[in-house]
Amino acid sequence: MTSLPRIYLDNAATSWPKPDGVYQAVDRYQREQGAPYGRGGYARAEHVRREVEAARLAVARLIGAAEPRRVIFTSGGTDALNLAIHGTLAEPAHVITTDHAHNSVLRPLTTLARQGRITLTRVAVSPSGEVDPAAFPAAWQRDTRLVVLTHASNVTGAIEPIEAIGRLARELGALVLVDAAQTLGELPLDVARLPIDLLAAPGHKGLLGPLGTGVLYVAPGVEEQLSPTRQGGTGSESELDMQPNSLPDKYESGNPNVPGILGLGAGARWLAEQGIERLRARTLERTVRLAAGLASIAGVRCIGPADATRRVGIVSFTLEGCDPHELAMMLDSGFGIEARAGLHCAPSAHRAAGTLDVGGTVRLSLGPFNDAHDIDAAIEAVRQIAGQGL
């Protein structure tokens, strides 16, 4: 590892650093609590149960969910998406997604399509990563059952118009699944207002929790159409040999990742205390600064919407004549800047942007703890690598 001061700009992969309360919650559970969730009547186990439910409540409040039991804890965003996709597509159906889709969406859908269980349509995105809601009616089929939207691309940062598309899907009778991996915790989200039936997100990105955590929100009534994809012990209704129908137990078999969930709850509470709107405004200002600075460098091409208000804190770019992986290595070894290079598990987004055949891009992604110094250091590092300012 480099001995240079660390500048972490890979928050789209996992957020770092975390708020102190996240570390404290995990450590306190491991050192002082240690009891299982929902599987004991003794005092310490009951205390753990209350803390897990407090974490569920914190996430529910953050997304505007009236019933915390509709927040299902999962092992990550991929787990949440797989539950939503496989759990709703028990019968043959047509599914629509977009070319923003991450492999956590594309791979389960493609698997089902190759098995002959679904048909799949992918709506194109523009080179800058924008989606036109007017393209969706042409994609519709009589048996369209599910529409999977990527709230924001992890490649371009472009924000999909989920409200307009979701309302159309609702009118035509399809369920709406939103992959909020890059938005939950950065953009305000209100599931009571927006046309969202299922909302999936990792806990370790914008929610600032530990790895190995995730959430799936299930809207009222949707549980009747969402089958659990695993069965097992829940600590409830143990006399039954069938999975309970009550929420959240229907989808939470096995011992959950309690230390991770408690850390996730601490992250959600920190976001609520800071105010997502305030954090978003700060990230937006720094995203504009970063994109403008990089675009001023000869040979650099930034991809994504020109209007920064239509993107999250992600700036992907290429440098003419420089392989993205080599560029990322130079940023790390020479400047202490940690960035992600490659295809970012989203090949269709790169194909649309014209960066698939050049090995992808270098992605700089901001979190709430990045400051103006980090932004300026990244710009200057790319400038030097590009041969300017030496």
Q: pLDDT tens-digit profile of 161-181? A: 999 999 999 999 999 999 999
* Amino acid occupying residue 202: P
Pair of tokens at residue 9: 């700009």
C-alpha closest to that of 100 among 359, 306, 360, 352 = 352
pLDDT of residue 124: 95
Reply yes or no on whether the pLDDT at 223 is more than 90.
yes
Over residues 13-37, mean pLDDT: 96
Q: How many CA atoms lie within 13 A of 376 on its CB side?
A: 3
Rounded mean pLDDT of the chain?
A: 95
pLDDT tens track for 330-344:
999 999 999 999 999
Mean pLDDT for the stretch of residues 122-129: 94
For residue range 275-291, what is the model confidence (pLDDT) as tens digits? 999 999 999 999 999 99
> Residue 3 above 80 pLDDT?
no
Q: How far apart are CA 154 and CA 102, in angstroms?
A: 8
Q: How confident is the model at residue 114 (pLDDT cuts 50, 70, 90)?
A: very high
pLDDT at 390: 40
pLDDT at residue 240 in the model:
73
Confidence class for position 2, pLDDT limits 50, 70, 90:
low
Q: Once rounded to an integer, what is the mean pLDDT over residues 145-149?
A: 98
pLDDT of residue 388: 57
pLDDT on residue 1: 60
pLDDT at residue 361 greater than cutoff 90:
yes
Amino acid at 239: E
Task: Record the pTM.
Answer: 0.95
CA 8, chain centre distance (Å)? 18
C-alpha distances (whole Å) from 105 to each of 81, 122, 347 are 7, 11, 12
Q: In the 3-class helix/strand/coil scheme, how is the chain assigned residue by residue?
A: CCCCCCEECECCCCCCCCCHHHHHHHHHHHHHHCCCCCCCCCHHHHHHHHHHHHHHHHHHHHHCCCCHHHEEEECCHHHHHHHHHHHHCCCCEEEEEECCCCHHHHHHHHHHHHCCCEEEEEECCCCCCCCCHHHHHHHCCCCEEEEEEECECCCCCEECCHHHHHHHHHHCCCEEEEECCCCECCECCCCCCCCCCEEEEECCCCCCCCCCCEEEEECCCHHHCCCCCCCCCCCCCCCCCCCCCCCCHHHCCCCCCHHHHHHHHHHHHHHHHHCHHHHHHHHHHHHHHHHHHHHCCCCEEEECCCCHHHECCEEEEEECCECHHHHHHHHHHHHCEECEEECCCCHHHHHHHCCCCCCCEEEEECCCCCCHHHHHHHHHHHHHHCCCCC
Mean pLDDT of the 23-48 span: 93
Q: Say yes or no to pLDDT of 389 above 50.
A: no
Domains by residue range for the chain, with CATH: 7-18+276-385 (3.90.1150.10), 20-274 (3.40.640.10)
Least confident of 37-41, 306-310, 322-326: 37-41
